[in-house]
Structure 1
Amino acid sequence: MSEQHDNRDGFIPQYLLEKLAERGNEDAKRTLAQSKDIEKHNEELKKNSESRQLIENIGGQGQRFIYDSENTEQFKRKLVRKEGDSPVQDEIVNVAYDHCGKTLEYLKTKLGHNSIDNQGMDVVCNVHFGKNYANAFWTMNQLSVGDGDNRTFINLSRSIDVVSHEIAHGVTEYVNELKYQFQSGALNEHFSDVVGSAVQQFVKGQTAKMADWLIGDEVVGPDWPGKALRSMKEPGTAHELDDQPAHMRDFKKLPIKIDRGGVHINSGIPNKAFYLTAMEIGTDQAAFLWINAWKNKSIIHPQATFAEAFTAIQEAAEQLVQQGKLPQQATAVVKHAFQEVGVLA
């Protein structure tokens, strides 16, 4: 497994931060500068095998380890709560611990997937990462979450959606290694949105029809020009700068330098297809279908396209229907959903 699949851009897409910075948003400028420093630091750590062994998290019994970065950019700086420990005084530590636990519970009980690698890997989460750092990211088998700037973005640890989304990047890394660029990268982002939304609905006791299907609505602050980062229900409507397409006719062919070829932008298309599927068969069953499809490495290879993802999902639906694990209409529902978004002519 290579490191190229790390979600280096973070939960808040770099291209959006750049657009905000162009508008004169000082918080976005600062987060962009911090992100460049962090990426440089991470690249150096990866090259140093001793440092890598020290911080990388492999194996375990599906336990949680919450570290306090103490507003530095250090991984595993200070262990503040581990599996089974009582709550601590720092509310952010407790919230992150709970969110990691709910994500693991959902993966296991609803999706039949044992932690991140399906082998019970421990979950390492670094909170208070960076100084007023307005982002969260997955790298080197661990999650790092900033406190936000309290203007454009508020503390990212408080959102189950953020924590689950980033952990799901780890799942993709182990399941099919979708390369983080172009259509495969958009599928990578899409799957994290699927898991983030599904876990959030699970925790809130919502059905597909009750949910608002917004991504990042809990972390946008008063200076954010909209209601969320993305909408799975209506891609392109979450904020003033939202250019997510909901149909292949509006697919954006972008160079690699812009959002890695549109990983956060074009993910609106499969997101809409998932939303349409979930509305018919339920979010948990749709997510269960998706993760089963994601494990079909012969079709969903590292550079898979939207069309290939549909093929894998359709095949998984047929098998799961035959096994009595999904309702009879699942295959027709999936076909219709992907026709609606133009992936299937």
Structure 2
Amino acid sequence: MASRTRRPVVRCSFLPPYLLERVAAMHPDDAVGGCCRGTLAIDAELRERRHLVALSGRPATAAPMVPVDGAFAVFSAGNGTTLPGQQVRGAAEDETGDAAVDEAWAGVKESLALFAEEYSRSSYDDRGAPVVATVHYGRSYNNAFWDGQQLVFGDGDGKVFTRFTKPIDVLGHEFTHAVTEHTAGLVYQGQPGALNESVSDVFAACLKQRLLGQTSQAAEWLIGEGLFLPSVQGDALRSMKEPGTAYDDPVLGKDPQVGSMADYVETNQDNGGVHINSGIPNRAFHLAAVALGGNAWEAAGQVWYAALTSGLRPDTDFATFADATVTAAAQVSDEARAAVAGAWTEVGVPVGALVPGGAGSGTSPSSPPADGGGLVVVTRSGGIVGRTEQAEAHLGDDPRSADLERLLSRIDLQQLAGAPGSPAQPDRYVYTFAVDGREVMLGEQDLTPELAELATLLLDR
């Protein structure tokens, strides 16, 4: 029987793996699909490196620390995957003429200025840490991420996505992941993970609106506007004002974000739907910003930053964070407190009440039966775009059976399931591999070479 690619079950994020997977599935034989498959393969390679470190018992590290002269510097990976690459522009140096380099330079500079001038924060760690940003990562790499030590940006495939440095809010989004890591340290899973994503969108929006001089009322509240090329039917990656309306495209599918607890999605994909459910606190911030009036970075942004730095636990859920923002707003005025409390109530997160984690109408991708009968299922989710894609093959019937059996003979799912993995990382992919009822879920950074090849074989061809 020929292999089938199921329609992905959507969940929300900022280029989540599911979006890349869908594009690859819709373009199995052309350059666009190849670029997306290459991006996913690179992400898989990075997961493998961290997996091997975890098995060795040595402390996990991201990119090597490099000396930086000044507050920040931009490096180029030269379309390779070695980080940080070669330095190409320092903080005090002039434009290079390379669009990605100069966009990254401006994005880091303005992100540092936002947090320093509006929130009195010195770099992402509040200790003046130099910022390293690498561009031209991979070949046609459709993603951007913070790896715990530096910012990384791909060039896009040139067909669906342009370079990931072009929208300045993508730079602000990834920089804020570093800020969150050094403040609340929100776990990248479930509601805390969705808050992690939302906080990045919140300050990305503040950055963009501050540069454009837009008030909360005048802003469009789009995240990643300009990342899609003209062929795509969509305005941006996400809409904070109306989650779920940013794009609706034959290749990408429909924006899966939700904006209310009534639609909360329970799933084991995308680290528990962090990119989908982040639409709920995103919309709450938009509502609060409009109600408070003026500029988002000066009014609502101050409240959200105070909440983020108020000593939250890493497992903070929506209700706890809502309470923290209301407490911060109360320090401003009774009117501010009422506005923020009303925003959370509007999205179904009552202030002072526990939010049921299982609320909502979302569904998860189906799992293979225990007696799979030679069924291999691979699911990929997450990434900055936040899509979920799934493909399956039946051994013996599928023309790729020989390659699949070769790979499966070298993969021990039981051992992988029991091995220590690295913590989930913001905007990185998550894979689920199921073979005859045996299943393992791994982050992109923890994939072995065999699993990476298996994922490419099913999802990207």
TM-score (norm. length: structure 2): 0.66
Match of 2:135 among 109, 127, 135: 127
Amino acid paired to 2:192? S
> What CA deviation, in whole Å up to 9, does each residue of 1:213-255 have, x standing for no partner?
1111221123434221110000011112212111101101111
| Cα distance in 2, alignment partners of residues 272 and 10 from structure 1 | 14
| Cα distance in 1, alignment partners of residues 89 and 36 from structure 2 | 31
| Cα distance in 1, alignment partners of residues 64 and 20 from structure 2 | 28
CA shift for structure 1 position 132: 1.1
CA separation of 1:191/1:104 partners in 2, compared to 1, >3 Å: closer, same or farther? same
- Which residue number corresponds to residue 66 of structure 1? 74
Amino acid paired to 1:248? M
| Cα distance in 2, alignment partners of residues 42 and 127 from structure 1 | 21
CA shift for structure 1 position 306: 0.3
- Which residue number corresponds to residue 101 of structure 2? 93
> What CA deviation, in whole Å up to 9, does each residue of 1:243-302 have, x standing for no partner?
2111101101111xx1110100000000000000111223011111101101122xx311
- Which residue number corresponds to residue 152 of structure 1? 160
Match of 1:296 among 302, 310, 331: 310
Bigger Rg, structure 1 or 2: 2
CA separation of 1:52/1:90 partners in 2, compared to 1, >3 Å: closer, same or farther? same
TM-score (norm. length: structure 1): 0.88
Answering whether residue 291 of structure 2 is matched by residue 280 of structure 1, we say yes
> What CA deviation, in whole Å up to 9, does each residue of 1:145-186 have, x standing for no partner?
011111111011122111110000000000011000100000
Q: Is the 8 A contact 1:10 1:138 kept in 2?
A: no
Q: Is the 8 A contact 1:104 1:115 kept in 2?
A: yes
Matches within 5 A, 1:139-288: 139-240=147-248, 241-255=254-268, 258-281=269-292, 282-284=295-297, 285-288=299-302
Q: Is the 8 A contact 1:62 1:121 kept in 2?
A: no
Match of 2:110 among 102, 107, 113: 102
CA separation of 1:127/1:10 partners in 2, compared to 1, >3 Å: closer, same or farther? farther
Greater shift, 20-29 or 113-122, is seen at 20-29
Amino acid paired to 2:288? T
| Cα distance in 1, alignment partners of residues 258 and 60 from structure 2 | 41
Q: Is the 8 A contact 2:63 2:149 kept in 1?
A: no
Percent of aligned pairs sharing the same letter: 37
Q: 1:218 aligns to what SS in structure 2?
A: coil
| Cα distance in 1, alignment partners of residues 323 and 75 from structure 2 | 41
Amino acid paired to 2:347? V
Q: Is the 8 A contact 2:14 2:275 kept in 1?
A: no
- Which residue number corresponds to residue 6 of structure 1? none
| Cα distance in 2, alignment partners of residues 53 and 214 from structure 1 | 31
| Cα distance in 2, alignment partners of residues 268 and 247 from structure 1 | 8
Larger helix share, 1 or 2:
1
Unaligned runs of 5+ in 2: 1-11, 249-253, 352-461
Greater shift, 29-38 or 259-268, is seen at 29-38
Amino acid paired to 2:64? I
- Which residue number corresponds to residue 329 of structure 1? 335
Q: 1:66 aligns to what SS in structure 2?
A: strand
Q: 2:203 aligns to what SS in structure 1?
A: helix
Larger strand share, 1 or 2:
2
Q: Is the 8 A contact 1:314 1:331 kept in 2?
A: yes
Amino acid paired to 2:240? M
CA separation of 1:51/1:32 partners in 2, compared to 1, >3 Å: closer, same or farther? closer
| Cα distance in 1, alignment partners of residues 345 and 41 from structure 2 | 41
Equivalent residue pairs, number: 326
- Which residue number corresponds to residue 64 of structure 2? 55
CA shift for structure 1 position 88: 2.1
Q: Is the 8 A contact 2:124 2:178 kept in 1?
A: yes
CA shift for structure 1 position 19: 3.1
| Cα distance in 1, alignment partners of residues 290 and 341 from structure 2 | 14
CA separation of 1:272/1:85 partners in 2, compared to 1, >3 Å: closer, same or farther? same
Answering whether residue 318 of structure 2 is matched by residue 309 of structure 1, we say no
CA separation of 1:316/1:279 partners in 2, compared to 1, >3 Å: closer, same or farther? same
| Cα distance in 2, alignment partners of residues 88 and 144 from structure 1 | 18
Unaligned runs of 5+ in 1: 1-8, 322-326
Aligned-CA RMSD value: 2.4
Match of 1:15 among 15, 18, 36: 18
| Cα distance in 2, alignment partners of residues 53 and 247 from structure 1 | 36
